[in-house]
Amino acid sequence: MQISDLFIRRPVFSIVVSLLLIIGGLAAMMRLPVRETPAVDPPMVSVSTIYRGASNEVIESRITEIIEGAVAGIEGIKEIRSTSNDERSSVNIEFTIDRNMEDAASDVRDAVGRAARSLPDGAETPIIRKADSDQRPIMYIGVTSTLYDAMELSEFVDRTYVDKLATVPGVANTFLAGERRYAVRININRGQLAARGLTVQDVEAAVKAQNVELPGGRIESSQREFTVKTDSRLTTPEQFAKVIISNKDGYLVRLEDVGTAVLAPEDERYEFFLNGIPAVGIGIIKQSTANTLEVSTLVREELAKLESALPPDTNVIICFDESEYIKLSIEGVLRTFIEGVGLVVLVILLFLRDWRSTFVAIVAIPVSLLAAMMFLAMTGS
């Protein structure tokens, strides 16, 4: 006896099984994550190193090649890709699919730690991350203003939007693109500096030495206790201008004698434009198991709540939303499914001319698809 005979002879049993498959399939479909690409990420670890003021040639020879040589002997490496830009080195190590991610990251961390002593003194500590394709932003939000300058707009967005959007369910991280943080930039007059026999390193050392905050201990008595704090932090360009660079034979050379200190953005090399207008961008990164459609909807709702806090002549525009492409893909699948079911029903009806067989096909197709959802949920696809 074939298995089909069992369902033909026992219609009630067939109906119960079909209902169970439908219920289980609907429950599984509600829990399945929705994303643009399948979750088939290979084990990958990235190593990022920053060396301020260095050209790409120096980054390549002094940092990238050293890190590549240090990690080359790790077990299970499939491919090493590196990029050397001005001030930044990036090395991506891809492992074979059977390599454990935690073990791979630990091996890379140990290898880079041993190679750190060979890096230049001015290079920052290498940052090691477990790479994930889900770490790309699913949304970009642009904020423009004709009332605020770039630094004021960056501070407003950082204080008003970043923390609020980071607490939205399903959001893993947020970051600012084209951010302009407040900083004091020191412009050196080379002629004035050379005339006094000083170097840029002398200016740097003087600023570091006189812009500190140190603990001073405690002053205790039988009845009172005071905490002493040595605070000589410089907060304004005028204070930086009064920094003493050298003191030779009682002659003080201050920063204002060899250059100027102005309030300016910390980094002026990277900008974010929206329709040709300078703006500040907010990138939204979702959690790996979060539903892109739900995260996008919740972020839009949070933006609507924060709209009342916008100053005059300030606009918030959603520049990119991955959920729109997913919605279009789902609509395309549904349209194709309906067209396919219609063609199947039409062919069966034309050739068999039997309404019963046609009805069986109409019921069997969605039941089969919902049962496939259960299989996808069980396999973690």
Q: pLDDT by residue (tens digit) across 263-315?
A: 888 877 778 888 888 888 999 988 767 788 889 999 999 999 988 888 888 88
Look up residue 60 and give its DSSP letter: I
Compute CA distances 328 → 193, 334, 336, whole Å: 62, 10, 12
3 state SS of 35? coil
Q: Contact, 59 vs 84, CB < 8 A?
A: yes
Nearest to 71 by CA among 53, 51, 90, 55: 90
> In the prediction, which pLDDT does 36 show?
62
Q: Contact, 282 vs 137, CB < 8 A?
A: no
For 96-100, 184-188, 199-203, which range has the lowest pLDDT when averaged over its residues? 96-100
Span 62-71, mean pLDDT? Answer: 92
Q: Cα–Cα distance between 134 and 37 in angstroms, integer?
A: 10
What does the block give as tokens for 152? 């004021």
Task: Identify the residue whose tokens are 């970043």.
Answer: 162
> In the prediction, which pLDDT does 67 show?
93
Q: Tell which wins on pLDDT, 27 or 109.
A: 109
> In the prediction, which pLDDT does 290 show?
79
Q: Cα–Cα distance between 27 and 364 in angstroms, integer?
A: 18
Burial class, 135, CB count within 10 angstroms (exposed 0-12 / middle 13-18 / buried 19+): middle
Q: Contact, 266 vs 257, CB < 8 A?
A: no
User: What confidence tier does 194 reach under pLDDT thresholds 50, 70, 90?
Assistant: confident
- Run of H or E residues at 281: strand 277-286
Type of residue at 12 = V
Q: Is the pLDDT of residue 251 over 90?
A: no
Span 341-347, mean pLDDT? Answer: 84
Q: Contact, 82 vs 64, CB < 8 A?
A: yes
Q: Is the pLDDT of residue 74 over 70?
A: yes
Whole-number average pLDDT of the chain: 84
Q: Is the pLDDT of residue 195 over 60?
A: yes
Share of residues in the chain with pLDDT > 70 (%): 92
Q: With b meaning 16 or more CB within 10 Å and e meaning fewer, what string describes 71-107? A: beebebbeeeebebeebbbbbbbbbeeebebeebbeb
> In the prediction, which pLDDT does 206 show?
87
> In the prediction, which pLDDT does 300 show?
93
> In the prediction, which pLDDT does 65 show?
92
Q: Tell which wins on pLDDT, 6 or 20.
A: 20
Span 36-42, mean pLDDT? Answer: 64
Q: Tell which wins on pLDDT, 2 or 102.
A: 102
User: What confidence tier does 66 reach under pLDDT thresholds 50, 70, 90?
Assistant: very high
Q: Cα–Cα distance between 199 and 103 in angstroms, integer?
A: 47
Q: What is the pLDDT of residues 203-230, one digit of tens each?
A: 888 888 888 777 777 888 878 888 877 7
> In the prediction, which pLDDT does 381 show?
57
> In the prediction, which pLDDT does 35 show?
65
Q: Contact, 288 vs 134, CB < 8 A?
A: yes
Q: Is the pLDDT of residue 41 over 70?
A: no
Pairing of strands 88-95, 77-85: antiparallel
**Single pTM value for the model:** 0.69
> In the prediction, which pLDDT does 64 show?
93
> In the prediction, which pLDDT does 134 show?
59
Q: Is the pLDDT of residue 133 over 60?
A: no
